[in-house]
Amino acid sequence: MAIMIPSVISPEVKSAAERKIFEWFRSAAGTDDWIVLHSLGIATHNKVIYGETDFLVLAPQLGIFALEVKGGRVKRENGIWYFTNRYGKTNSKARGPFEQAKDGIFSIANAIKEKADDAHWYVAKVLYGYGVMFPDIEYDAAGIDEEQWQIFDARDGENVKGFIERLSAGATGKWESHYGQMSSTKLPDYSDVKYLASILRSDFDRAVSMHVQLRAAKDELVELTKEQYRCLDQLDDNPRCLIQGPAGTGKTLLALEEVKRSAALGLRVALFCYNSNLAEWLEYYFSDLPQDLRPVFVGTLHKFMTQITRAAGTTPAFPGDPGKQQHYYRSGLPEAALQILKDSSGRFDKIIVDEAQDLIEDSYLHVLDACLIKGLDRGKWTMFGDFTRQAIYLEKASGSGLVEKLDDYASFVRFRLTINCRNTKPICREIQMVTGFKPTGNLWTKVEGPPVQYYTWADMDEQRDRLTALLQQLEENHVAPDEITILSPRRRENSVVSMLEGFKIDNFSIPAKPHISFCTIHGYKGLENTVIILADIEDFASEKLMYVGLSRACSGLYILETEDAKKEYDALLVRRLLNE
Asked if pLDDT for residue 135 goes beyond 80, the answer is yes
pTM for this structure? 0.72
The DSSP code for 348 is: B
The DSSP code for 146 is: -
Asked if pLDDT for residue 222 goes beyond 60, the answer is no
Residue 397's pLDDT is: 60
Average of pLDDT values for 109-138? 89
Average of pLDDT values for 322-350? 90
Residue 82's pLDDT is: 80
What's the Cα-to-Cα distance from 528 to each of 158, 168, 328, rounded to whole Å? 47, 49, 30
Residue 45's pLDDT is: 45
Q: Taking all residues of the chain, what is their mean pLDDT, rounded to a whole number?
A: 85
Confidence of residue 40 (pLDDT cuts 50, 70, 90): low
Residue 51's pLDDT is: 58
What's the Cα-to-Cα distance from 375 to each of 29, 80, 307, 371, 566, rounded to whole Å? 33, 58, 20, 7, 50
Residue 477's pLDDT is: 84
Q: Best-predicted range by mean pLDDT among 198-202, 230-234, 345-349?
A: 345-349
Kindly give, in sequence order, each residue whose CB lies less than 8 Å from that of residue 230, ignoring residues fewer than 6 positions away.
Answer: 415
User: What residue ranges define each of the domains in the chain, with the CATH number in brackets?
Assistant: 3-203 (no CATH), 207-416 (3.40.50.300), 425-579 (3.40.50.300)
- The residue ranking higher by pLDDT, 472 or 6, is 472
Contact (Cβ atoms closer than 8 angstroms) between residue 368 and residue 285: no
Average of pLDDT values for 427-440? 80
Average of pLDDT values for 452-474? 95
Least confident piece of the model among 73-87, 115-129, 280-294: 73-87
Asked if pLDDT for residue 129 goes beyond 60, the answer is yes
Residue 31's pLDDT is: 94
Helix axes 276-287, 251-264, angle to 10 degrees: 40
Closest-CA residue to 525 (of 319, 276, 271): 276
Average of pLDDT values for 505-532? 91
Confidence of residue 224 (pLDDT cuts 50, 70, 90): low
What type of residue is 562?
Answer: T
Beta strands 206-208 and 221-223, pairing class = antiparallel
Would you tell me how many other CB atoms lie within 10 Å of the CB of residue 180? 8
State percent of the chain over pLDDT 70: 88
Average of pLDDT values for 215-219? 32
pLDDT in tens, 65-80: 999 998 888 877 777 8
Q: Best-predicted range by mean pLDDT among 41-45, 59-63, 475-479?
A: 59-63
> HSE of 199 in the Cβ direction (CA atoms, 13 Å)?
20
Contact (Cβ atoms closer than 8 angstroms) between residue 301 and residue 364: yes
Residue 229's pLDDT is: 72
Average of pLDDT values for 525-550? 91
Residue 78's pLDDT is: 73
Confidence of residue 225 (pLDDT cuts 50, 70, 90): low
Residue 169's pLDDT is: 94
Helix axes 160-179, 16-27, angle to 10 degrees: 90
Cα gap 456→521, rounded to integer Å: 19
Closest-CA residue to 114 (of 185, 44, 194, 189): 44
Cα gap 325→113, rounded to integer Å: 62
Cβ-in-10-Å burial (0-12, 13-18, 19+) of 357 comes to buried
Average of pLDDT values for 456-483? 93
Average of pLDDT values for 40-45? 53
Residue 574's pLDDT is: 79
Residue 392's pLDDT is: 52
Asked if pLDDT for residue 233 goes beyond 70, the answer is yes
Closest-CA residue to 152 (of 80, 69, 75, 86): 69
Kindly give, in sequence order, each residue whose CB lies less than 8 Å from that of residue 300, ignoring residues fewer than 6 positions away.
Answer: 272, 273, 274, 275, 276, 279
Closest-CA residue to 353 (of 329, 387, 328, 325): 387
Average of pLDDT values for 267-274? 96
- Containing H/E element for 195? helix 190-200
Closest-CA residue to 35 (of 178, 169, 264, 199): 199
pLDDT in tens, 145-193: 788 999 999 999 999 999 999 999 999 998 888 888 887 778 999 999 9
Exposed e or buried b for every residue in 485-523, given b needs 16+ CB within 10 A? bbbbbeeeeebbbeebeebebeebebebeeebbbbbbeb
Confidence of residue 580 (pLDDT cuts 50, 70, 90): low
Average of pLDDT values for 296-313? 95
Kindly give, in sequence order, each residue whose CB lies less than 8 Å from that of residue 473, ignoring residues fewer than 6 positions away.
Answer: none
Residue 444's pLDDT is: 56
Beta strands 80-84 and 90-93, pairing class = antiparallel
Asked if pLDDT for residue 373 goes beyond 90, the answer is yes
Asked if pLDDT for residue 294 goes beyond 80, the answer is yes
Residue 560's pLDDT is: 97
Asked if pLDDT for residue 394 goes beyond 70, the answer is no
Asked if pLDDT for residue 236 goes beyond 50, the answer is yes
Closest-CA residue to 120 (of 37, 201, 192, 35): 192
Cα gap 171→154, rounded to integer Å: 22
Residue 212's pLDDT is: 35
Residue 500's pLDDT is: 95
Beta strands 297-300 and 269-273, pairing class = parallel
- The residue ranking higher by pLDDT, 215 or 195, is 195
Confidence of residue 223 (pLDDT cuts 50, 70, 90): low
Confidence of residue 58 (pLDDT cuts 50, 70, 90): very high
Helices (H) and strands (E) in the chain — how many of each? 17, 23
Average of pLDDT values for 487-515? 93
Average of pLDDT values for 105-133? 89
Contact (Cβ atoms closer than 8 angstroms) between residue 264 and residue 9: yes
Residue 207's pLDDT is: 53
Confidence of residue 426 (pLDDT cuts 50, 70, 90): confident
